[in-house]
Homo-oligomer: A and B are copies of this chain.
Amino acid sequence: MCARHAGRVTVPAQRTPQPERTRVMRARLMQATIDCLVERGWAGTTTTLVSERAGVSRGAQLHHFPSKRELVVASVQHLADQLNGDLERRHDEAIHGRGHSTRKTLGLLADHFTSAIFVASLELWVAARTDAELLEIVRPIERRWGREEHRLAVELLGVDDSHPPTRALVQGTLDMMRGFGLANTLSDDSRRRGRILAEWAELIDNNARPAVAGAAPTGKAR
């Protein structure tokens, strides 16, 4: 509408180059897939529903993702990025905001494990158990994600990860967080969680060995 014939550069802002539009379209579809997972679960995530939710015609959907499988695979990667992004964001907030208590770090982790993206991950996780193809892409992502969580926890808690008992305590705590995430899906579990976390902070403070001051086990120490 703005160019073509006369080559007028009057309205350059509206024109989006093709590759960018494709990128946006794919992102819309992947996000809609994740939203559907959260709202309807794995079994309820149909291609029709996704296309409606994304506001994309069925034809366009099939153009960008020829099969449901490809859509799901791409969405899993998309979700992985979001998981890492969420962790990083919470990490940065914790670093910059002052008040570095153990309790706050635990709250931060618990929030991560009760977020919508965790719920979407849970759906994929459980679905992957009985879907070999899906398992192959979900498993490595889950591994990396778990390691990131561990790294973040160790760093924010400021504990010595090379000390076996401390390491086990951190790992167990993260597994507990996963348990929290699971329990939170059926009904709001925040009261109970809060009570446990309050005691848990003391447990960690009393039992985890603090990181050696200058040491930087994984990356930079706090």
- The A contact surface, by secondary structure, is helix
Nearest Cβ distance between residue A40 and chain B, in whole angstroms? Answer: 5
Verify A199–B131 contact, CB threshold 8 A: no
Residue A23 lies at the interface, judged by CB distance under 8 Å to chain B: no
Cα–Cα distance between A37 and B78 once the two chains are bound (Å)? 28
Residue A93 lies at the interface, judged by CB distance under 8 Å to chain B: no
- Using A43-B42, A178-B178 as known contacts, say yes or no to A165 and B199 having CB atoms under 8 A apart: yes
Verify B126–A199 contact, CB threshold 8 A: no
Chain A 37-79 per-residue mask, 1 if CB under 8 angstroms from chain B, else 0: 0011111100000000000000000000000000000000000
A164 partner residues in chain B, CB cutoff 8 A: 195, 199
Cα–Cα distance between A175 and B42 once the two chains are bound (Å)? 24
Nearest residue (CB) in B for A171 is: B196
Residue A16 lies at the interface, judged by CB distance under 8 Å to chain B: no
Cα–Cα distance between A138 and B186 once the two chains are bound (Å)? 9
Verify A125–B186 contact, CB threshold 8 A: yes
A183 partner residues in chain B, CB cutoff 8 A: 175, 178
Cross-chain contact of A175 among B40, B129, B180, B186 (Cβ < 8 A): B180
Nearest residue (CB) in B for A168 is: B199
Verify A172–B176 contact, CB threshold 8 A: yes
A165 partner residues in chain B, CB cutoff 8 A: 199, 202-203
Cα–Cα distance between A118 and B173 once the two chains are bound (Å)? 21
Cα–Cα distance between A198 and B39 once the two chains are bound (Å)? 39
Cross-chain contact of A176 among B39, B135, B179, B186 (Cβ < 8 A): B179
Q: Which residues of A contact B (CB under 8 A)?
A: 39-44, 119, 122-123, 125-131, 135, 138-139, 142, 164-165, 168-169, 171-180, 182-183, 185-187, 192, 195-196, 198-200, 202-203, 206-207
Taking A173-B176, A203-B207 as given, write out 13 further A-B residue pairs in contact, using a Cβ cutoff of 8 Å, ordered by the A residue number.
Answer: A41-B130, A43-B43, A129-B185, A129-B186, A135-B186, A142-B186, A165-B203, A168-B198, A169-B199, A174-B179, A175-B176, A178-B183, A206-B207
